[in-house]
Amino acid sequence: MKHLALLTACAALLACAPPAKQEVAGTKQLSTDELQELLAKGDDSIVFLDVRDRKEIETLGTVEGHVHIPLAELEGRLNELHREKLIVTI
CATH number, position 43:
3.40.250.10
pLDDT band at 53 (very low <50, low <70, confident <90, very high): very high
Q: Is residue 58 part of a domain?
A: yes
Question: What length is written for the chain?
Answer: 90
Bridge partners, 50 (sequence order)? 68
Report the domain count for the chain: 1
Q: State the DSSP H helix or E strand holding residue 87, giving kind and residue range, or none if neither.
A: strand 86-89
Residue 68 structural domain: 30-90
d(CA 71, CA 84): 21
Residue 62: the pLDDT is 85
Q: Is residue 8 part of a domain?
A: no
d(CA 43, CA 82): 14
Residue 42: the pLDDT is 77
Q: Is residue 68 part of a domain?
A: yes
The structure's pTM equals: 0.63
Q: Is residue 37 part of a domain?
A: yes
More reliable by pLDDT, 58 or 25: 58
- Amino acid found at 17: A
Q: Is residue 71 part of a domain?
A: yes
Q: Is residue 70 part of a domain?
A: yes
